[in-house]
């Protein structure tokens, strides 16, 4: 894994949270993106070299709606950038981690993503991501 790519935070209402985090960081989000495959709206903030992703459910079946129902708003996942997502998925599987999707899927921010089940990572939902321009699929 190369580095933490971003931290994902589950929020109930993206508009009011964009306002809250704008006040916190001293600057506004730089983009909003809907990810239909996950039923979420996302927004992104840059804080120095780091990125924060806010996620709002767009349907009750969204993983974000389920997360908030169970645990409330808060840190939802940590995303790590990888060079070769397929290779990394194979490696983690062989190390005994449970992957939430068999194949990489299209996430926000022009990335291929795969999630690791929090039950196999001490309760932390981990996202692997690889920029699509780096992907050879
Ligand atoms: Zn993410």
Residue 134 has pLDDT above 80, yes or no: no
Q: Report CA(79)–ligand 1 centroid distance (Å).
A: 6
Q: Report CA(96)–ligand 1 centroid distance (Å).
A: 22
What's the pLDDT tens digit per position in 42-57? 999 999 999 999 999 9
Q: How confident is the model at residue 8 (pLDDT cuts 50, 70, 90)?
A: very high
Q: Report CA(6)–ligand 1 centroid distance (Å).
A: 6
| pLDDT of res. 66 | 96
24-48 mean pLDDT: 95
Helix H, strand E, coil C: the string for the chain is CCEEEEEEEEECCHHHHHHHHHHHHCCCCCEEEEEHHHCEEEEEEEECCEEEEEEEECCCCCHHHHHHHHHCCEEEEEEEECCCHHHHHHHHHHCCCCECCCCCEEECCCEEEEEECHHHCCCCCEEEEEEHHHCCC
| pLDDT of res. 37 | 82
What's the pLDDT tens digit per position in 76-132? 999 999 999 999 999 999 999 999 999 999 888 889 999 999 999 999 999 999 998
Q: Report CA(56)–ligand 1 centroid distance (Å).
A: 12
Q: How confident is the model at residue 133 (pLDDT cuts 50, 70, 90)?
A: confident
Q: Report CA(53)–ligand 1 centroid distance (Å).
A: 6
Select the more confidently predicted residue: 37 or 94. 94
Q: Report CA(45)–ligand 1 centroid distance (Å).
A: 12
| pLDDT of res. 109 | 85
19-31 mean pLDDT: 98
Q: Report CA(95)–ligand 1 centroid distance (Å).
A: 23
Q: Report CA(52)–ligand 1 centroid distance (Å).
A: 9
| pLDDT of res. 107 | 87
Q: Report CA(126)–ligand 1 centroid distance (Å).
A: 9
């Amino acid at each position: 894994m190369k580095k933490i790519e971003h931290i994902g935070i589950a929020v109930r209402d993206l508009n009011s949270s964009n306002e809250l985090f704008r006040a916190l960081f001293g600057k506004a989000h730089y983009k909003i993106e809907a990810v239909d495959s996950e039923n979420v709206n996302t927004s992104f903030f840059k804080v120095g070299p780091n990125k924060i992703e806010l996620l709002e459910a767009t349907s009750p079946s969204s993983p974000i709606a389920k997360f908030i129902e169970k645990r409330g708003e808060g840190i939802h996942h940590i995303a790590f950038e990888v060079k070769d997502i397929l290779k990394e998925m194979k490696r983690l599987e062989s190390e005994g981690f449970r992957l939430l999707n068999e194949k990489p899927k299209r996430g926000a921010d022009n990335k291929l993503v795969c999630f690791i089940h929090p039950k196999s990572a001490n309760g932390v939902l981990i996202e692997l991501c690889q920029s699509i321009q780096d992907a050879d699929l």
